[in-house]
Amino acid sequence: HRARSRHLPGRRLTGRPLKTAPENPFWDYSLAVYARPGVAGACLALQDRLGLDVNVLLFCCWAGQRGRALSADELEGLMAAVGPWHEGVVKPLRAVRRWLKDQDTAPGAAAEALRQEVKTRELEAERIEQQLLAETLPLGAGSPAVALAAANLKVYMGIRGVRGGAADTADLAALLAGAFEGLAPAESVRLLARATR
């Protein structure tokens, strides 16, 4: 039983258990931000076009919301912590869900039911990844600072070797505007431009 439990979802890949408490302020924050106009489309575009991890993008904004600048070393540590889970679980589930959605010949109702089940599992895998991020680098409360969130996003893109064109800047600006309600898109673009200096 002990050997089997090491492989249950919700546990670190090292075998050390994740916190089992359902409270995860980062997850709650991410759900709220992702539901705001323009954010989901921007995040998915950055994911599909540049290969960025949406959970890490959201963590960059969460850190800014907590008044925290992220160093390149911290972001690399976060990426290393969630990389195996993201590559081994999140991405394969996403690929299966998308494949099922694109099939015209699959048995209708049965295939759709399966796709919805995979979608539910994918969302749970995302939640576990976010829990890993939050536990790898716990962030205390601080004063929200959109400039720090913009800088965090730029550090993440730099680590990933992404220079960012006009479309990328527009999507990052949409994410920032959603993460910090009331922020004008033009101001988001200006903050991102300043963060590159």
Q: Is the Cβ–Cβ distance between 127 and 27 less than 8 Å?
A: yes
pLDDT of 67-95, one tens digit each?
999 999 999 999 999 999 999 999 999 99
DSSP character for 16?
Answer: P
CB 65 within 8 A of CB 29: yes
pTM, entire model? 0.84
Report the pLDDT value the prediction gives residue 186, as an integer from 0 to 100. 82
Q: Which of the pair, 105 or 191, is modelled with greater confidence?
A: 191
Q: How far apart are CA 17 and CA 1, in angstroms?
A: 15
C-beta atoms surrounding 158 within 10 Å: 14
pLDDT digits (tens, 9 = 90+) for 96-122: 988 888 877 656 787 888 888 999 999
| 1 pLDDT more than 60 | no
DSSP string, 28-86: HHHHHHHTSTTHHHHHHHHHHHH---HHHHHHHHHHHHTT----HHHHHHHHHHHHHHI
